[in-house]
Amino acid sequence: MKQVLFVCLGNICRSPLAHGLMEHRIKHLKLPIKVDSAALSHYHIGEPPCSVSQKLARSKGIDISYIRSQHISEFDLSKYDLIVAMDEDNKQELLALGVQNVKKLGDFGFDGKDVADLYYEPHKKEEAWKMIEKGTLEIIKLVV
């Protein structure tokens, strides 16, 4: 079974959106992929996704309220076939930690563009959703 991990700073905005959408697709398509998400910081450990992300996902027919922020140290990163950072800072921090198989979500159809951080830029939620929507489709194609 392939495994994908989405990573952002707090694991309360972008990475849970990608996690929830990809998990939703995997269930419907009955694909052998395990997906999870994690934070690089300890700021929000144990918290659910922020209200902006939960409302956005719900408006698209997806429930992400069950996801809780987890720190990346809780994961055996060597088990993941792909680790997807939401922005360049996340990617560089993962690389500095010696993490392998790191790509940015923006590498999947958006010329490496960063996904807007909805904690600081909630007005960019539709732009972020479009990137996550297309990026997760491309990731599924890659790992299946």
Confidence bin at 144 (pLDDT 50/70/90): confident
| 15 has a pLDDT exceeding 90 | yes
Fold of 2-143: Rossmann fold (3.40.50)
- Span 43-59, pLDDT tens digits: 999 999 999 999 999 99
pLDDT at 116: 95
Mean pLDDT for 118-133 is: 96
Distance CA 27, CA 89 (A): 31
- Span 51-104, pLDDT tens digits: 999 999 999 999 999 999 999 999 999 999 999 999 999 999 999 999 989 999
Q: Check if 111 is active-site.
A: no
Catalytic annotation, pick one of 13, 14, 25, 114: 14
22-29: Cβ within 8 A, 24+ apart: 22/136, 22/139, 22/140, 24/62, 25/136, 25/137, 25/140, 26/140, 29/140
Which residues fall within 8 angstroms of residue 32, CB to CB, at 6 or more apart? 1, 2
Q: Check if 8 is active-site.
A: yes
Which residues fall within 8 angstroms of residue 111, CB to CB, at 6 or more apart? none
Q: Check if 50 is active-site.
A: no
Distance CA 18, CA 24 (A): 10
Mean pLDDT for 114-126 is: 95
Tokens of 35: 């997906």
Catalytic annotation, pick one of 36, 87, 114, 117: 117
